[in-house]
Structure 1
Amino acid sequence: MKYVSLLTLALFSCLSTAQIQYAPTAEKPSVPSPKQALGFTVGEWHARHDQIQHYFSQLADKSPRMQLETIGYSHEKRPLLQLVISAPENVQRLDEIRQQHIRAARGGVKPAADAPVIIWLGYSIHGNEPSGANASLLLAHYLAASDDPKVINWLKNAVILVQPSLNPDGNDRFALWANMHKGATAVADRQHREHNEPWPNGRPNHYWFDLNRDWLLLQHPESQARITQYQKWLPNIVGDYHEMGTDSTFFFQPGIPSRNSPFTPERNFELTKTLATYHAAALDQTNKLYYTQESFDDFYVGKGSTYPDVQGSVGILFEQASSRGHLQESINGNLSFPDTIQNQFTASLSMIDGAVEQRKALLDYQHQFYKDAKQQAKDDKISGYILTEPADKTRMAALLDTLKRHQIKVYPLAKDWKNSGEKYPADTSYYVPLEQAQYKFIKAAFSTETLFNDNTFYDVSAWTLPYAYNIQFKPVKSQPSENVLAKQWQKASPEPLALASGAYAYGFNWHDQQAPLLLHALLAEGLQVRVAMNDISTQTAQGKVDLAKGAMLIPAGLQQGEWFAKLQQVQKQFDLPVYAITTGLTSKGSDLGSRNLLPVTLPKVLLIAGPGISSTEAGEAWYNIERLGGISPSIVEPQRFSAIDLNRYSHIVLPDGSYTQWSDADVTKLKAWVQQGGVLWGHKRAAMWLAERNIIKTETWTAAEMYSLITAENLSYADQEQLAGKQRLAGAIYQAELDLSHPLAFGFTRKELPVFKNSVLLLKPSEQHFVNVALYSASPQLAGFTATEYIPRISQSAALIAHNYGKGKVIAMTDNPVFRGYFFGSSRLLINALYLGHSIDASAK
């Protein structure tokens, strides 16, 4: 076994000195160094994303070993970069190599003896973990400039995909902060402002999401671009470069052995251990401290080091102690930014070295992975899954699109199909066969497991995609016949629907995910809209149409100006049927002039977000209020609450966080605003705070009361982590039951609703009629781990409560309805609160 030489590592050895210098062992005058391009030595300043792009562009122009691609754009429109590095002769035939690689992996053809290994190196998906992104500058230069025989061999036998900054928006937020506080002499004092970023800090993306949790969920353009390239190349090995606490050292996988994904083959763990010897050897040569098999698990398939493991690749997590700036004191001495870069650079070289030396083993493993998957699919007790959603084609399409991005094939039913006594209607039902290349990934994405070998989780224990989208799904043993299945699902382009003029009124149902967006567009154009509080049947030119409670009506008699032209223009933007109603007299339900058709107004939303509030959950609320409701909320820090004019807003949203910072005067101000007619929403800790302040009229079960349900007797000191893991509700999916007649449940067609629970906080059901909007079902656990002692208590609890408060309304939920942006089902509860909250009429007295 050949390790990275001391000579190779020497190019970085001087970076920890006061005068930072960079001198590679072998240099081509035609290839610019980072210092020549940027004007500073790597590690002297935190590189912005545009500087990384500038340098990579110069390298790609000068070096025949490199090809730079823009694979997408972030929310803030920064380019997402991928630098492809290989021997010049390989770069000339990259697409041929890629296609041969995919055929060998998934097509059943054995890898060629000279096939290059595909290496993916992804850096700094958390923006304030910048050592990886900055190390990519040195790695790219070294691979472009070095004529070391070892490097030449690497390039000949590998295609290296470098994604230097997986979160460019967060990277630049942090780079600006660190650079603006850099003094003439670096300050190591950890109380120094440089080391204490303001809320929400540089970790998340533009909407404050953790992109390293989005590999499965694909809710953001950064993730979608990344997975497109991943599935295009199907790398053999993935390096996932992060940072951790300043007092740590350096971690690389394997992680905790008992906390691996059950969908990862044992051979993967063996290869991980083999590759670990390369990292250890490289770090040993420079006497760097490191550790393995602690701290981190490999369980949730939606993060960067585990997603590859269910794709026939080997994902390796690297965690470097963070300087969180240019220099910071730690228990291991002062930690400099160049020191952190050095370790990431070293681990990048050892990753390439190990992958090339283990090239045949990695190629054979991936080939065997997919070969085994075919046989495992044939041996499985089920043939696949049936998905059904009769009312919301947009929500179904969103799930199918996510599956397609992961290369999962789905087939619509062309004819009605019966299986085990159940009928699955055509056009609204879809079949996901297990006998396809992504067998392992399908099993992981659809998993409903509740029992695990180790109940301590670094992240969530459940992520079931159909539950998140509130799509009915069922495993089936037999496969629909070929004449029942249509061609593989493809995302359709909507065709504008013609809208007849001269109608008495126009209306559309509230079921579809696009309905709130259509409503927002109409209200923004000044149209008058009414919501039906009960089911109605009405007459159109095409015959009778049923409109369910929550349907939106646009009566012609209430409109002014060129309203119909506006209606036509707005309606063309949405793939949603709008019915031209010919009469105000209905054959069922309220006539169109009834008081049961209530006015709907454009919401003016205030979102509380700032220090003390969970930035992740505030970001999730912000993103989904915009994306699913069409509303860009005003965002105000809780510290400014006392100074703002609340009369500007119709709704206030309180995401998870601590509101104890608000004074009694602030609480009085909030109560007065609600009493005057405002709609107040709070979830998780915000819901508990509303109960403590007697704004939501219910009692609670606190975390301490829940923890007391678990017996903690005769425990040894070593049992601390096990007890904490049992007490924590890391993330499981539960079933709530809706009151479908309630305005907050309008648009739902089934009372059963999956919700995501990652908190032990609970609301007790109200004893008053009409206040409990959703209760947990008698057997609520759908997927993921929860201590058995908690389940009876959860089944006795309320998931959503709403009632009058003076002229206003208050709504509380102990779960996050918009968890990670992909819980499209429960997200409708929040959107309904914005558009229909004023229609609630339930007394808490």
Structure 2
Amino acid sequence: MRITLFLLGFLIFQSQAKPLSYYFSADIEFDQSITKPSEVLGYEVGEWHVRHDQLVSYLTLLAQQSPRMSISTIGFSHERRPLLLLAVTTAKNQDKLEQIRQDHLASLSVSKDRSAAPNIIWMGYSVHGNEPSGSNAALLLAYYLAAAQGDEINNLLENNVILLDPALNPDGLARFAHWANSNRGKTLSADPANREHVETWPSSRTNHYWFDLNRDWLLLQHPESKARVAQFHHWKPTVLTDFHEMGTNSSYFFQPGIPSRTHPITPPQNQALTHKLAEYHAEILDREKQLYFTQESFDDFYVGKGSTYPDINGAVGILFEQASSRGHVQESINGDLHFHRTIKNQLLTSLSTFKGALEHKEALLDYQQTFYLDALKLADKEDVKGYVIAKGNDISRFESFVKLLSHHQINAYEITKAVKVAGRTYQIGDIFVPLTQSQYRLIKAVFSTQTNFEDNTFYDVSGWTLPHAFDLSFAPIKSRWGLKVATNPIKIEPPTLNKAVQTGAYAYAFSWDDYLAPKLLNRLLGAGIEARVALQSFSARTHQGEQTFSSGTVVIPAGVQSNKNWQSVLIEIVTQSSIDVFAIRSGLTAQGIDLGSRLMMPLKQPKVLLVGGEGTSQYEVGEMWYHLDRHVGIAPTLIEQRRLSRANLARYTHIIMVDGNYRGLSKATKAAVLSWVKKGGVIWGHKRGAQWLIEQQLLNVETISKKEMRAQFETQGMPFSAREELAAKQRIAGAIFNTRADLSHPLAFGLEDEILPVFKNSTWVMKQTGRPFTSVLKYTSNPLLSGYADQRNVNQIAASSALIADEYGKGVVIAMTDNPVFRGYWYGTSKLINNALFFAHAVK
């Protein structure tokens, strides 16, 4: 009986907890004065999912105990969790760490022997919160680096500074640890259908706002990414690892990926070194008899991913993908997959990275040095010498663009004399980004308008041209003749706030051009200030002289204010803003409509209901939430589809339906929504949200379905091997298309010109509506601007409608084929949703 109980206990132990001896080779000796992970956690690594606060506590303790480690908080997540970065090297190197860093950076601009200097290796884990084996492995790796003894670890630390980034997504990791731990029983369940393995909506893959942080390295919309990229350039590692998880029935992947899907700007030597390091990963996994694969499935194209951004910045980025247990143990085609096994594989390839990087240290350092030294030479050989970008009237949007370039170490210079390029005159104050600088390759990538590729299959987006996303006019220049620019790069200073506002005016007004104008308007409306929008332009006398105001100008008439303290409230809000607010002397204007015109439409503060939950895209719901919250100052009411039937719709002015499957909504819910719109509500839908509006006959628009678009492609007799190629042609994997806006339409107010690039990753088409005045945006006749789309799809999309707005009873229905707030950085098209929030009733 005792033997049976012992065996049962042993089996439970085997399945739930593994000691350090499971993870590390028996020939590694550890300093016993260094605290083991289990002594802080209260359990063995892999028995439970580590919480982020536990991770922070343990790593902080290690840094206190080990002279090899220093720890810093490089930033905070949205939920104020610290972003840690540990620098690990010998105690002697720790004493001169800053000098090592400076010498390393200096070596990138001057050719010098670096063989005796330490290499810089960045180890990054679990950018997706529900891919936790990486962060759990980081615990063990940190212990190894702090406590391991012997020649091997001494040699590693003498020759390297290891930067350990243990949790790239603290908020997502914390959510998933809570999910997995709270659904774990004492007796583990490997059934894939068990709740532990099936997260509810939204998943913990994402950060606080449900963004995929692995796509944010270029876009830098979130504090986690900003802090990380700042430190990346602060150190400029030669190797950066990016540890992920994939489907449970997979095995283990490490780069190189599919050769033809590497970004063409990536130097061949980068891939050669990736192949060299791959030999070490294969060797260590072979020893453990673990299955793995390379050069398959994953690409290295989009430069905004964690394993590809380094490739375009002088490092070698390595993606690792471990089959996921999505909990503590789960059935798979390869047998039961235990959490501790996934952790061990990530640890093993971390150690193999060290071995490979150490043995190829000189090659890695030489490659990085050559990467930067060659940049200026390669730039000089280019036909294009740089790019001019127009500042435009929207100062906030322009400054956000320049700041983004600066975060990536890209220098831009103010133009000091007007110059004509490609038929447009670029004015003093516009900028020039020369190719001849150290970030030559990244500049080429972010300004690229390439539409033809060697391999047209993309794991992520195929076009991400940054000035298009910001709706900034730009052009390449082939000669700097006649171009005059400032000596020093442009620096964006903190905005100058309004110091004083003239009191006693007849009315106040501010332009709708600036990206932050909606945020100012929302604050004013929320404070009880009565405001109106000018539906046509006018000129008026102000305390600064005669001013011309375009359509979309917000006017605050003194005579309609009901709050006796309104002016003090106005002044308090306006003085916290950088947007110019003009004091108008009279209601009688010099030109255009007068201030008492019926074309001065009263405005209401939006009360937004954002539909989410199962069936909707967590990314697009999160992107809309992020935009409304961070850029407009609106707290939308987020409600799951299943609760929509119980919502009091009368509380809301707007309903937003992003991409999703809404066919599960009940007849009663549909009837309630239609009734709400008919009574005066504004409903916005994009992608499948827009399709739902049309299906409910809220809009009378003829469409071309995705199925019909796919049917354009001949498949008869096609071999099985062509299946992936066909799928690539039938879809649009994130490209940029051109549209033309009706600038007189209220939903286009604030757009500087009629050309507006949009991000497109759907083939669904809305044909032009027969009703007049309803089409806000139309695709141009040759709309593809950047990225890949098969010409058959482009032809169908050409001249079709991109945004339609029409009245329905007393309400307004707005449908868009694309996501206007894609990944948070599409400043151009996000103006459309802002206009829908405040000006939608002007379409009636």
TM-score (norm 1): 0.96
Matched residue, 2:320: 318
SS in 2 for 1:824: coil
Matched residue, 1:775: 778
Structure 1 residues 692 and 82: CA distance shift in structure 2, 3 A: same
SS in 1 for 2:227: helix
Cα-to-partner distance string for 1:155-193 (whole Å, 9 max, x where unaligned): 010111111100000001000000001111111011111
Matched residue, 1:436: 437
Alignment RMSD (CA, Å) = 1.3
The one-letter amino acid of 2:650's match is: N
Cα distance in 1 for partners of 2:526, 2:15 equals: 60
Matched residue, 1:352: 354
Cα-to-partner distance string for 1:543-602 (whole Å, 9 max, x where unaligned): 110111000001111123111111111112211110010111111111001111010110
Structure 1 residues 808 and 77: CA distance shift in structure 2, 3 A: same
Matched residue, 2:3: none
Q: CA deviation at 1:90?
A: 1.1
Cα distance in 2 for partners of 1:484, 1:237 equals: 36
Does residue 70 of structure 1 match 2:80?
no
Matched residue, 2:240: 238
Cα distance in 2 for partners of 1:626, 1:415 equals: 39
Q: CA deviation at 1:125?
A: 0.2
The one-letter amino acid of 1:493's match is: P
Cα distance in 2 for partners of 1:481, 1:56 equals: 56
Cα distance in 2 for partners of 1:488, 1:571 equals: 31
Are the aligned partners of 1:67 and 1:91 in contact in 2 as well (CA < 8 Å)?
A: yes
Structure 1 residues 163 and 417: CA distance shift in structure 2, 3 A: same
Cα-to-partner distance string for 1:581-636 (whole Å, 9 max, x where unaligned): 01111111110011110101100000001100000011001111112221010000
Q: CA deviation at 1:521?
A: 1.1
Matched residue, 2:506: 504
Matches within 5 A, 1:107-186: 107-186=109-188
Does residue 633 of structure 1 match 2:636?
yes
Cα distance in 2 for partners of 1:482, 1:803 equals: 47
SS in 1 for 2:29: coil
Q: CA deviation at 1:525?
A: 1.1
Does residue 274 of structure 1 match 2:276?
yes
Matched residue, 1:447: 448
Are the aligned partners of 1:16 and 1:336 in contact in 2 as well (CA < 8 Å)?
A: no
Q: CA deviation at 1:20?
A: 2.2
Cα-to-partner distance string for 1:264-298 (whole Å, 9 max, x where unaligned): 01111110101000000011111111110111011
Are the aligned partners of 1:413 and 1:486 in contact in 2 as well (CA < 8 Å)?
A: no
Are the aligned partners of 1:16 and 1:339 in contact in 2 as well (CA < 8 Å)?
A: no
Matched residue, 1:461: 462
Matched residue, 1:557: 559
Matched residue, 2:428: 426
Are the aligned partners of 2:737 and 2:783 in contact in 1 as well (CA < 8 Å)?
A: yes
Matched residue, 2:714: 711
Q: CA deviation at 1:796?
A: 3.1
Give 5+ residue unaligned stretches, structure 1.
Answer: 1-13
Cα distance in 1 for partners of 2:483, 2:657 equals: 51
Matched residue, 1:301: 303
SS in 1 for 2:240: strand
Q: Which moved more, 1:536-545 or 1:677-686?
A: 536-545
The one-letter amino acid of 2:64's match is: D
Cα-to-partner distance string for 1:706-758 (whole Å, 9 max, x where unaligned): 01112223311111111111111111000011000000000011100000000
Q: CA deviation at 1:16?
A: 6.0
Matches within 5 A, 1:525-674: 525-559=527-561, 560-674=563-677
Are the aligned partners of 1:688 and 1:763 in contact in 2 as well (CA < 8 Å)?
A: no
Q: Which moved more, 1:107-116 or 1:234-243?
A: 107-116
Cα distance in 2 for partners of 1:440, 1:265 equals: 10
The one-letter amino acid of 2:711's match is: S
Cα distance in 2 for partners of 1:111, 1:68 equals: 29
Matched residue, 2:4: none
The one-letter amino acid of 2:380's match is: K
SS in 2 for 1:789: helix
Q: CA deviation at 1:151?
A: 1.1
SS in 1 for 2:56: helix
Matched residue, 1:22: 20
Are the aligned partners of 1:728 and 1:759 in contact in 2 as well (CA < 8 Å)?
A: yes
SS in 1 for 2:245: strand
Cα-to-partner distance string for 1:814-845 (whole Å, 9 max, x where unaligned): 1000011111100010111011112212xxxx
Cα-to-partner distance string for 1:431-450 (whole Å, 9 max, x where unaligned): 10111000000000111000
SS in 1 for 2:20: coil
2:223 to 217, 221, 225: 221
Does residue 34 of structure 1 match 2:32?
no
SS in 1 for 2:757: strand
Matched residue, 1:809: 812
Matched residue, 1:56: 59
Q: CA deviation at 1:667?
A: 1.0
1:188 to 171, 187, 190: 190
1:747 to 736, 747, 750: 750
Cα distance in 2 for partners of 1:482, 1:661 equals: 59
Q: CA deviation at 1:17?
A: 4.9
Are the aligned partners of 1:433 and 1:479 in contact in 2 as well (CA < 8 Å)?
A: no
Structure 1 residues 743 and 19: CA distance shift in structure 2, 3 A: closer
Cα distance in 2 for partners of 1:152, 1:41 equals: 26
Cα distance in 1 for partners of 2:553, 2:424 equals: 29
1:201 to 195, 200, 203: 203
Are the aligned partners of 1:417 and 1:423 in contact in 2 as well (CA < 8 Å)?
A: yes
Matched residue, 2:8: none
Are the aligned partners of 1:329 and 1:335 in contact in 2 as well (CA < 8 Å)?
A: yes
Does residue 491 of structure 1 match 2:492?
yes
Matched residue, 2:827: 824
Q: CA deviation at 1:485?
A: 2.1
Matched residue, 1:799: 802
SS in 2 for 1:681: strand
Cα distance in 1 for partners of 2:136, 2:71 equals: 17
Identity %: 50
Matched residue, 1:10: none
Cα distance in 2 for partners of 1:704, 1:482 equals: 50
Cα distance in 1 for partners of 2:193, 2:285 equals: 30
Cα distance in 2 for partners of 1:16, 1:284 equals: 23
Cα distance in 1 for partners of 2:390, 2:424 equals: 12
Matched residue, 2:472: 471
Q: CA deviation at 1:482?
A: 8.2
Cα-to-partner distance string for 1:521-553 (whole Å, 9 max, x where unaligned): 111111000100001111112211011100000
Aligned residues: 826
Q: CA deviation at 1:15?
A: 9.4
Are the aligned partners of 2:386 and 2:432 in contact in 1 as well (CA < 8 Å)?
A: yes
Matched residue, 1:396: 398
Cα distance in 2 for partners of 1:112, 1:789 equals: 53
Cα-to-partner distance string for 1:183-231 (whole Å, 9 max, x where unaligned): 1111101111100000011100000000000000000111000100001
TM-score (norm 2): 0.97
Matched residue, 1:5: none
Structure 1 residues 223 and 15: CA distance shift in structure 2, 3 A: farther
Are the aligned partners of 1:15 and 1:21 in contact in 2 as well (CA < 8 Å)?
A: no
SS in 1 for 2:829: helix
Cα-to-partner distance string for 1:669-714 (whole Å, 9 max, x where unaligned): 1100000000000000111111112112201110011011122233
Matched residue, 2:730: 727
The one-letter amino acid of 2:124's match is: G
Cα distance in 2 for partners of 1:719, 1:782 equals: 27
Structure 1 residues 16 and 321: CA distance shift in structure 2, 3 A: farther
1:699 to 699, 702, 715: 702
